[in-house]
Structure 1
Amino acid sequence: MIVESATGRRTPAFDTARLRTAAERSASGVTLPAVLPATALTVSSVTLTLANRAFECALPAYACSPASLPAAMPDTGWAPEGRHGLFVRNHDLYLRARDGNETVRLTSDGAEHFAYGALSGMSLMAVPLMRSQSPRPPFGITWSPDGGQFMSTRFDERKVESFPFVEAVPQDGSWRPKLWQPRIALVGDAERGDVEAAIFDVAKRSKTVIALKDGWRLYGQVFHWSADGRSAYGLVTMAALKAIGLAEIDLATGAVRIVVQEATPKWGRFNAFIYSQPNVRILEASREVLWFSERDGWGQVYFYDLGTGKLKRKLTAGQRTVRDIIGVDEKRRHLFFTAGGTDADPDPYFIRLYSTSLDGGAARLLSPETGVHLASRVPIGNAAPGSATTAALSPDGNWIVESHSALDRPPVAVLRSARDGRVVAVLETADVSRVAASGWRAPTRVKVLSADGKTPLWGTVYFPPNMRQGQKYPVIDAVYGGPQVTNAPADYREAVVTMNPRSRASLAELGFIVVMIDGRGTPGRSKAFNNESYEVFAELELADHVAGIRQLAERFGSFDLDRVGVYGHSFGGYTSARAILAYPDFYKLAVSSAGPHNFQGFYPVEGLFPAADYGDGKNIRPNPAAVPPNYARLDLMPLAPRLKGKLILVYGEMDENALPSVTLQMADALIKANKSFDLMYLPNQTHDFFRTSAYYTQRMWDYFIEHLMREEPPADFWLEIAAPSQTTGY
C-alpha cells in the first residue's frame, strides 16, 4: 500500500493480478509461487526474485524484464554500498570486489581461537556453527555507511579451557558419539579470554587497534560513524557493569575518549530492557548526545554536549521508565520515545508514545489510547542502528507509524501526526480470524500485593474454557524469574506468542488455571523494583508468586491450592526448581527445563548478578570445588533434601545457554538426598527445545495431566508442530 501522509489516503502499490500476468509472461512459462516473491519496491518498480532468476517490473506499465542476479557468495559479508565485501580464509580476513575476481588479504595474524570473523565460544551458538559445514559471512564486522571502513571484533580464547558437549546420536547417522569442545570460561576461571577491537581502512588496507584503557571494555560494536570519517562511537562498560560510558574512537589512531561515564553500583545498562536497542544517540550536527540513565531511580534520557561531555539537561522526568527512543527530529529539536512503568497508570506495563523538546520542557503524550504502544526502531536503509532516523518516524519528522493493542484488543497500526498525536489514518487492523477460529480467548489481567503486603504487582491469568461454578481447578504458575524481562503479557501480541514459557493458553485449554506474575526484581518499573533481584535472583519473586496466587484463590474461588504446579525454561527452569524446593508444601509439581541450577558451575553472568567473590574481593576460584560465598544462596543443590512433590528436570544435549552439566549436577544432588525425581534427556536439542520440540511439549502436558490433574493422559495422542511455512513465522 502507498499512503499519503497528510491525508491518510491509501492506494495499492500495484495490481497483484496484473503484476503476476506480466511476470509470468516474461518468465516464459515459469509458474510463480502463490505469494509474489517481491524483494524490492519503489513507486515506479517491483523486483521479483526466484531461486535462480529475477525480474524488474516497471510501474504502472507492468512491463517485466529479466534482471541479473549477483553471483552467490554465501561466505561474503558485503559493505552497505555493495561494491566490496569480506570473507574469511584460514582465520584471516580477505577483501573481494563484487565485480571481478580480485581478492586482497587484509590480515595475516589470524589463528585458531583468535580468528577474524569468528564468534566467541561464549556466543551460546558455538556448537551449531562447529557442526555446520555451510559457508557463512564473517561475524563481528560492522561497516561504516559508505563502506570505506569497518570495525572487526575478535576473541582471544587460546588460553580459555574447552567445554565438552557429547553428541551421542550423531546427526550424520553414524554410531560413534562426537565430541564438540568450544572454549567456554566458567565462573572463577583465571582465563576468560581477551577481546581485540580494530578499525580497518579499506583504501589504505590498514588496521588500527582500538586502545581502550583503565579497565573499560567495548559493549557491542560501533553504532555511529561520523560524517567526516574521522570518528566512531561505541558503548563501553567496566567489569560486572559497575560503570558504563560512551566512547569516541579516533579512526586514524585508535585513541579513545570517554565522552560520558557513569558509575552504576548495580548492573549498569543502556536500556531498562537489556535485549532492546541501547537508548543512546549521537546528534552529530549539533554535537550533542542523548544518554539513558537510571540515576534518579527511573529510566530517563539525559542530554550531553558531545565535545565537552558536560550535562546540558535532563530531558525526561517523572515516575516512569523510558522504554525506547523512537526517533529524533533534529531540525525541530524534538525527541520521540515510548515510556511506562508508573503505578499511577491503570497498569504500569502499558506503554505510551511521547515527545519532548531537546531544549527542555514537559513531555507531550501522543498516544492516549489505553494499552501497549509499539513503534518500529528498525533503521532506514544504511543508517546505523544508533542513528536518529527510524522506520517509525518520517524523515521530515512530521509523522509516526505505531501500533497499539491490549489483551482483549488486537493490534491496530496507525499513522499519527508527530506534532500533536492526531491519528491521520488507521493503516491496518490485525487479522486475527485464524487465532479466533482456533478457540483463542483473551487472558485476564490481575493486580495483587507482593509478599511484603504493600507493593502492588500485576499479572495475567489464563482460565480454562467452560468453567463451572463451585468447581476448583488445578493451578500452574508459569515462571521465568530472570531480572531482564517481564513475563506476564500486557498486550494481545505478547499474550498470543507467549515467548517463555510456551503453552500457557494450551494448558488452560487442558483444564488448568495458568498464572503469571511480574514480581519484585523484574524490569519495566523503577530501578529499585528491578534491583530487588540483584543478589538473591528469584527468591523475592517466588515469595510474591506464592502470595499472589493465594490472593487470587481467595478472589476467584476456583483455584485449587492443593494442586499447584510450576514450570519454566532457562532462568524459568531454575525458578521452577527453586519453587518446589523452597516451598515444598505449596508447589506439588515442577517441570524444570534447561535450568542453571547452580552458578558456580556456569559461565559468568556478571551484571545480572554481582561478580563472584571468593573472599577479599578475589574472583579467581581458589580450588576446583570452591563456591563463591555470595553465590551460595543461589545454589539449588543444598535444597535437594527438601523435595516432596513431583519434579522433572529436562535438558538438551547441545544446550550452550543452560549447560547440561549443571542439570546433571542437580540430579546428582537429588540422588544423594535419596529423592525420587524424573529426568528427560533430549538428544541433539539446543536451548530452543521449549519452542521446537513437540515431544518435550507433549510430555510436559502429560506430566501435568497425570500428576497435577490426576488423570490419565491419552496414549494415542501425537503432537505435531507446524513447519514455519504453515504458520505466521513461529
Structure 2
Amino acid sequence: MASRAGDSRVGARRRRRDFPATKRMTAWILLAGLWLVAAGLGAAPQAADYQRSLGLRERWMMLTRDVAFPVQWRGDGRFYYRKTVEGGFAFVLGEPGADAMRPAFDAARLAQALGKADGRTYAPLRLPFERFAYDAEGGDPYGAIRFDVDYVSWRCTLGEYACAMVVEKGRPRGFGVVRDLRVAADNTPRRSPDGQWEAFVEGYDVMLRRRTDGKLVRLSRDGRADAFYDPETIAWSPDSRRLALYRVQPGFARIVTRVESSPVGQLQPLVRTQLYPKPGDAVDVERPVLFGVDGTRTDIDDALFANPYSLSPIRWRRDGGSLAFDFVQRGFQRMRVVAVDAANGRAHAAVEETAKTFVYADRSFAHEVDGLGKELLWISERDGWRHLYLIDGANGRVKRQITRGDWVVRDVLRVDDEKRRIWFSASGMDRGKDPYYRHVFAVGFDGTGLTRLTEADADHDVAISGDGQWYVDVYSRPDRAPVAELRRIGGSLVRTLERGDISRLLAAGWKAPQSFVAKGRDGRTDIWGMLVRPRDYDPSKKYPVVENIYAGPHDSFVPKTFWPFGYHAGGDKQIGMQALADLGFMVVMIDGMGTANRSKAFHDVAWKNLGDSGFPDRIAWHRALAARDPSYDISRVGIYGASAGGQSALGALERHPDFYRVAVAYAGCYDNRMDKISWNEQWMGWPVDESYVRASGAANVAAVRGDLLLIVGEQDSNVDPASTAQVVNALIAAGKDFDLLNVPGGEHSVGRSTGPIDYVQRRQFDFFVRHLQEAATPRWNADAPVSQQAVR
C-alpha cells in the first residue's frame, strides 16, 4: 500500500513537470480564486439552515420572561398590560395601591370562546392579540373586551365568555372621506342633553320630536339625494337649545373588485368588493348647518373651509356659546380649527397651520383650554421643528411658543387646564444620543418649569392615569430588555412592576443588533440605522448585504425598543432580519430623509417625491459602514420591503440599479394613483400631477436592472392588488424578467404576519441566496418541504 502511494506521488510530480508553466500558473490562479470565493461566501445554506431560520422567531420568543408591553389605564384607576411568561403571554391587571397583579381575565375561557366563534384553536397563553380595550356589558363598564385579529374586530364578554365579530353600526366611509351609500346610516334618534328632544333624519331632512307629547318639527326642507343631512353627525349643544350637523354632497364611490380564487369551504371563486377612494377622486363635501329647537336655521359661510379634504366631527364648547371643527384643505397644505358663534353663525379661524409642502395632519394636536376655546394648545412645525404653542382662540394668533429647540415633540400625554401644565414625549433633545428615543417631560403653559421625568438612555413608552396622579413607564432599547415602573406624577418611583429577563435568550445565542450612524446626502445630517450580523459571523469573510426598507413619511421605522419578534408595516423586525442574516447575509434597516420624527426639512424630502425613498442617504450610510468593515460587501446589495416598502424596493432597481442588485417587493403601492386616497394625497398632494408619474414604479420599469421578486396577497384590502398586476404588465411589455408569487386569499400582511408565513419567507430567502450569494438552493420539490410549522 505504501509503495503504491509513493508511486502515485512520483507520477503526480512527473505530470506537474510536463504541464507548461503558464498553464500551471493559470490553474493556480483559478484555484486560488475559487478558494477566495469559497472563503468569502461560505457553504450554501441547506434545508436544515432554512428550518432553523424559519423557526427562530417562535423558538426564541418563548425564552423571555417578564417582558412587559406598553401599559393601558382603565377609568377606575387600574392599569393592565401584556407580559411574557413561561409558555407564552399573560394579560395582567394591577392598581397603584396594591403590589400584587392578577389576571386581567380568564385566558382559558377566552381562548375557548374565541375558538368557538371563529373555528380556530387558541392556547390560553397564545391569544392572537397584543392589546385590547374594555367595553361595557350589562351595566359593568369592564364587563367585555374588544380587540382585532387579522383585520377583524371581536368583542368578548367576561361574564359568560361569549365572543362575536363586531359589526359597527352606521354607514362605513372609505378611508374616512367617502360614505358608502349602499349601507343605511344609523338614524337612531339623538337625544338632547336635557332629555326633552330627539333629532333624526326623515328622508333627507332633519326632524325634531318632543319627547313629552311626540310633536314633530321639520327643521329642514332642502335635503335631497345629492345634498342630504347626515344623522350620524348630529351634535347637541350642552344647553339643549341648538343642534348642528353636516349637510353632505356625496363624493365618488370608487369600488375595487377582487376575485377570491380559493375560498375556504367551496370550490367556486367569490367576488369581493370594497369602497376604495383613490387620489384625485371627489370626496364627500360637508357643510355644517345650525338649527334651534325653536325652528330657526343658520347656514355657516364656508369661506374658511372651502375645498375640504375632511372636516372633523362637530364639537360644542362647554358653555354652549360656540362650536368648533377641524378642517383639512385638499392637498394637505392648510389646517384650521374653525370656531362658530352659535348666536349668529359667524365663523373664524381659532388657529391655522399652513405649509409650502405638507401639514403633518395625521399627527396634529389641538386642545381647547377649559373647553371654552378662548385659548388652544397646538402643535406646529412653523419654526422648522415640531413644538407646542399657546394660541389665542379669538384670533388665531400665537400667544406663546411653549417649547423650542432642535428637537421634536412626539405626543401630548396629558393636559391639566387647572394647573396649566402639559406632559409630553419628545425626542432628539440629548446631543450625541439616538435622536429617536422618546423621553417624557412636563412644562407649564407659559413655557416655564420644564421638568424631565425619564432618565434612562432608552426609549420610554409612558401611560398616565386618568386622574393624573400616576404613570407607568416601560422603557427599553433594542439591546436592553424592558423595565416597567410605576411612578407618581412628579417622577418618584413607587415600585418596579416588571424587569425583563432575557438570560435564556442570550444563552441561546441571541445578539443585539448594532446601531450605526453616518452622514447623509448633504454630508452633515446624521442618518441612523441598525445592522444584524450572522450569528456565526467571521470577520475574515465577505458578506452580501440586504436592506429591509420602509420609507413611509408617516413615521420612522428602525426599531428603538427591545421586542425583536413582532412584525410591522415595513416587514420583519429584528428576528426576521436575524433569520435572513443567519443564512449568510448582513441585514440592515435605515431611516433616511423623508421619514418622520426629525426636523421639518428632513421630513419634507418626501413631498411629491416618494420615489426618492431616502436612497441617497441610505447609499451613503452603506458606503460609510463598508469603509469601516471590510466584511460588509456593498458590491452585492439586495433590498426587500412591504407596502410603501415594496414601492421602494422596486424603486431601488429602477433608480439605483448600480448599487442595488436584487429586490423582493411585498404588496407594494407601486403607483400612488392606484393606492388609497388618505395616505397618498397627504404626501403627494392634490391635484394629481406629474409628480405621481415620476414616483410610479409601474411607469418606470424600463429602467429596472437586477433580479426582482414580487409578492402580493390576492385579497389585499389595504393596497389595491391591481397595482402589482400593473407592474407585472409593464414588466412584460418592457421585456423584463421577474418572479411573481400571488398568494390566494392573502391579505396585505401576507407572509409577514398572516397567510403562509413560512412558505413566503422561504421564497424570499431563496431569492437572495440564489441571486446575491449565487448559490444553489435546496431542491424543495424533491426534498421534504419546509412545513408551515417549521422546526421549533
TM band (smaller chain): 0.7 to 0.9
Q: Does 1:10 align with 2:98?
A: yes
1:520 is aligned to 593
2:476 is aligned to 405
* Cα displacement (A) at 1:519: 0.9
Q: Distance in 1 between matches of 2:165 and 2:668?
A: 41
Alignment deviations for residues 327-355 of structure 1 (CA, whole Å, 9 cap, x no partner): 11222221111111357241111111111
Q: Does 1:294 align with 2:365?
A: no
Paired residue type of 2:406: Q
Alignment deviations for residues 649-675 of structure 1 (CA, whole Å, 9 cap, x no partner): 222333343323332222222222211
2:285 is aligned to 195
Q: Does 1:303 align with 2:395?
A: no
Contact 2:286 2:311 (8 Å CA) reproduced: no
Q: Secondary structure at the match of 2:348?
A: strand
2:173 is aligned to none
Q: Does 1:510 align with 2:572?
A: no
Contact 2:368 2:377 (8 Å CA) reproduced: yes
- Cα 1:487–1:146 change in 2 (3 A) is farther
Q: Distance in 1 between matches of 2:788 and 2:743?
A: 17
Q: TM-score by structure 1 length?
A: 0.73
Q: Secondary structure at the match of 1:453?
A: coil
- Cα 1:245–1:648 change in 2 (3 A) is same
1:574 is aligned to 647
* Cα displacement (A) at 1:524: 0.8
Q: Distance in 2 between matches of 1:718 and 1:255?
A: 68
Which of the residues 276, 279, 282 maps onto 2:365? 279
2:683 is aligned to 608
Q: Distance in 2 between matches of 1:167 and 1:55?
A: 35
2:332 is aligned to 241
* Cα displacement (A) at 1:405: 1.1
Q: Does 1:720 align with 2:791?
A: no
Q: Distance in 2 between matches of 1:17 and 1:185?
A: 42
Alignment deviations for residues 446-482 of structure 1 (CA, whole Å, 9 cap, x no partner): 1112133332111011222121231222211110122
* Cα displacement (A) at 1:414: 2.0
Contact 1:92 1:115 (8 Å CA) reproduced: no
Paired residue type of 2:351: V
Which of the residues 744, 754, 775 maps onto 1:683? 744
1:667 is aligned to 728
1:165 is aligned to 258
* Cα displacement (A) at 1:554: 2.5
Q: Distance in 2 between matches of 1:708 and 1:148?
A: 71
* Cα displacement (A) at 1:591: 0.4
Contact 1:91 1:115 (8 Å CA) reproduced: no
Q: Does 1:705 align with 2:766?
A: no
1:268 is aligned to 359
1:245-394 equivalences in 2 (<5 Å):
245-249=336-340, 256-270=347-361, 274=362, 276=363, 278-284=364-370, 287-342=374-429, 344-361=431-448, 363-376=450-463, 392-393=464-465
Q: Distance in 1 between matches of 2:354 and 2:401?
A: 17
Q: Which moved more, 1:470-479 or 1:341-350?
A: 341-350
1:122 is aligned to none
Q: Secondary structure at the match of 1:309?
A: coil
* Cα displacement (A) at 1:717: 3.6
Paired residue type of 2:615: L
- Cα 1:686–1:368 change in 2 (3 A) is same
Contact 2:155 2:165 (8 Å CA) reproduced: no
Q: Distance in 2 between matches of 1:167 and 1:601?
A: 20
1:23 is aligned to none
Q: Distance in 2 between matches of 1:721 and 1:409?
A: 29
Q: Distance in 1 between matches of 2:105 and 2:166?
A: 33
Contact 1:155 1:193 (8 Å CA) reproduced: no
Alignment deviations for residues 500-548 of structure 1 (CA, whole Å, 9 cap, x no partner): 2123233234332211111111111110111122132242611221221
1:180 is aligned to 273
2:34 is aligned to none
* Cα displacement (A) at 1:171: 5.4
Contact 1:216 1:236 (8 Å CA) reproduced: no
Q: Distance in 2 between matches of 1:52 and 1:320?
A: 41
Which of the residues 709, 722, 746 maps onto 1:648? 709
- Cα 1:719–1:208 change in 2 (3 A) is farther
Q: Which moved more, 1:456-465 or 1:139-148?
A: 139-148
Q: Distance in 2 between matches of 1:403 and 1:53?
A: 27
* Cα displacement (A) at 1:493: 3.4
- Which has a greater percent of helix? 2
Q: Secondary structure at the match of 1:506?
A: helix
Q: Secondary structure at the match of 1:260?
A: strand
Q: Distance in 1 between matches of 2:246 and 2:787?
A: 43
1:452-467 equivalences in 2 (<5 Å):
452-467=522-537
- Cα 1:249–1:429 change in 2 (3 A) is farther
Q: Secondary structure at the match of 1:452?
A: coil
2:609 is aligned to 536
Q: Secondary structure at the match of 2:331?
A: helix
Alignment deviations for residues 253-287 of structure 1 (CA, whole Å, 9 cap, x no partner): 876432111221111125xxx3x5x3221112673
* Cα displacement (A) at 1:314: 0.6
> Aligned-pair RMSD on alpha carbons?
4.7
Contact 2:107 2:124 (8 Å CA) reproduced: no
- Cα 1:257–1:431 change in 2 (3 A) is farther
State the percentage of identical aligned residues: 29
* Cα displacement (A) at 1:236: 1.2
1:471 is aligned to 541
Q: Distance in 2 between matches of 1:675 and 1:179?
A: 31
Q: Distance in 2 between matches of 1:639 and 1:47?
A: 54
Paired residue type of 2:303: K
Q: Secondary structure at the match of 1:606?
A: helix
Aligned residues: 626
Q: Does 1:488 align with 2:558?
A: yes
* Cα displacement (A) at 1:444: 1.4
Q: Secondary structure at the match of 1:662?
A: helix
Paired residue type of 2:682: G
Q: Distance in 2 between matches of 1:648 and 1:161?
A: 30
2:186 is aligned to 93
Paired residue type of 2:597: G
Alignment deviations for residues 11-53 of structure 1 (CA, whole Å, 9 cap, x no partner): 3377999999xxxxxxxxxxxx968999689xxx997769999
Alignment deviations for residues 408-453 of structure 1 (CA, whole Å, 9 cap, x no partner): 112222233433x333322333466786687643211111121333
- Cα 1:398–1:714 change in 2 (3 A) is farther
Q: Distance in 2 between matches of 1:18 and 1:75?
A: 26
